[in-house]
Structure 1
Amino acid sequence: MSRYYAEIGRYEQIAIDIANKIVRKELKEGDKLSGRSTLAGAYNVSPETVRRAVALLQSKGVVEALVGKGIIIRSRTAAERFLKDFETKRVIEEIQARIAQLTAERDRINEEIAHELSMLVNYTSKAITRMDMIDEIRIPEDSWVVGQTIESSGINAFHDTLIIAIEKNDDNIFSPDASTKLFANDLLIIASPPGARERIRKIIERTKTQE
């Protein structure tokens, strides 16, 4: 028995067992089930638990409880449909549980990544600031580098130049790669020697009409 079936209600387990017996033709249409007390003893449960199992099967058209006649098997087809519906429900709930588990794991990993990146930027900024090599340059709206990648703009072509991060309106990119696109108003956090820094600023501030 799967973990799912072990966790559902006992009355549901009994209903599934009876439905399986009907599908396997151990119980046939028109047959009469044992009385509730007998079933309660067979499944080692209370008569109330059996009553709930029978009520569930009756609501699905599998059996019918008739006063004075007992519990009658009504439909093997309904029993098959009941089992299929229950299996579908099981699969859906297991997928939902797995998604919830993976989402929680993803959130935990994202938090760890954000923490490590924050530490990286913090320590890198401190180290570079001590060497007086860090600068912030905002990309003007009319800059020719708007829409270019870091590589195609040539910003990273200078020796000892590193773009530490790009601060955007709705996001921050740490350690961007060469294929990262540049947009107007992006704030570039750049580490570079003083000479290269001025040349980078001139590249970024060049307008499209000056290309």
Structure 2
Amino acid sequence: MLEKARYQEIALDIAHAIMMGEYHEGVKIHGRSTLAGRYNVSPETIRRAIAVLQTVGVVVVSQGVGITVTSKAMAEKFVKSFDQKGEIQVFVEDLKKLMDQRREIDLKIESHLNKFLGYTDRLVSRWMDVGEIEIGKSSPAIGKTLRDLKVRECTGTTIVAVVRNGLEQFSPDASLVLQAEDVLLVAGSAEGQQKLRAMLK
């Protein structure tokens, strides 16, 4: 909570004393010098405190008479207004904390989002890198099934389709037996595709 200025604290304390009956309406309050000694502040600070109370109708200052209490009701209103001000200040401080927390959460979300985008970029680029590999007439893969070749385990690539006699078989079954001149559509890194080419020579 934000600290009140010293003269505000003194004005609040005097108003509270009036509200509690220490000073009654029509009664003169101690002079400024006495109040300055009581609160251990300068007369100027007391003048500012009394000016606040006079502005809100709690006391009146008369030349030659001094400081006189004019309204207990206004003193109560003044004290309550400060209580409300304190509540508002607490609310503002809580709001600031929540905004700071939200900024931290926003930064975390942005960080996670960037990581996720980086991951998806790598994933998409991996699957968009599709090459064609033809089974040669003397390839050791002839007569073997896709399961036999263990393509993914050995190269990290995936055979997404087999083209045979101009017809495409997407997501071919692992039991498919390869034939000469089959064309494999292979998704994966360039390095993985190169390993597969070497296996199928």
Give me the TM-score of the superposition, normalised by structure 2. Answer: 0.61
Distance 1:19 1:38 in 2: 17
Distance 1:94 1:55 in 2: 27
1:89 is aligned to: 85
Identity rate of aligned residues, in percent? 41
Q: 2:111 aligns with which of 115, 140, 143?
A: 115
2:178 is aligned to: none
| CA positional deviation for 1:64 | 0.6
Residue 12, structure 1, aligned to residue 8, structure 2: yes
2:64 is aligned to: 68
Distance 2:73 2:129 in 1: 78
Q: 5 Å matches for 1:1-211?
A: 3-4=1-2, 7-132=3-128
Determine helix, strand or coil for the equivalent of 2:29: coil
Determine helix, strand or coil for the equivalent of 1:125: helix
Amino acid corresponding to residue 56 of structure 1 in structure 2: V
| CA positional deviation for 1:93 | 2.4
Amino acid corresponding to residue 50 of structure 1 in structure 2: I
Determine helix, strand or coil for the equivalent of 1:71: strand
Amino acid corresponding to residue 77 of structure 2 in structure 1: R
| CA positional deviation for 1:124 | 3.2
| CA positional deviation for 1:131 | 3.9
| CA positional deviation for 1:9 | 0.4
Determine helix, strand or coil for the equivalent of 1:65: strand
Distance 1:116 1:36 in 2: 63
| CA positional deviation for 1:40 | 0.7
Taking structure 1 as reference, are residues 133 and 71 closer, same or farther at Cα in structure 2, changes over 3 Å only? farther
Determine helix, strand or coil for the equivalent of 1:42: helix
The runs of at least 4 consecutive aligned structure 1 residues that moved more than 3 Å come to 131-134, 193-196
Give the number of aligned pairs: 134
Amino acid corresponding to residue 86 of structure 1 in structure 2: F
Give me the TM-score of the superposition, normalised by structure 1. Answer: 0.58
Taking structure 1 as reference, are residues 21 and 133 closer, same or farther at Cα in structure 2, changes over 3 Å only? farther
Q: In terms of mean alpha carbon deviation, does 125-134 or 83-92 score higher? A: 125-134
Identify unmatched segments of 5+ residues in structure 1: 135-192, 197-211
RMSD of aligned C-alpha atoms?
A: 2.2
Identify unmatched segments of 5+ residues in structure 2: 131-159, 162-169, 172-201
Determine helix, strand or coil for the equivalent of 2:50: helix
Taking structure 1 as reference, are residues 123 and 25 closer, same or farther at Cα in structure 2, changes over 3 Å only? same
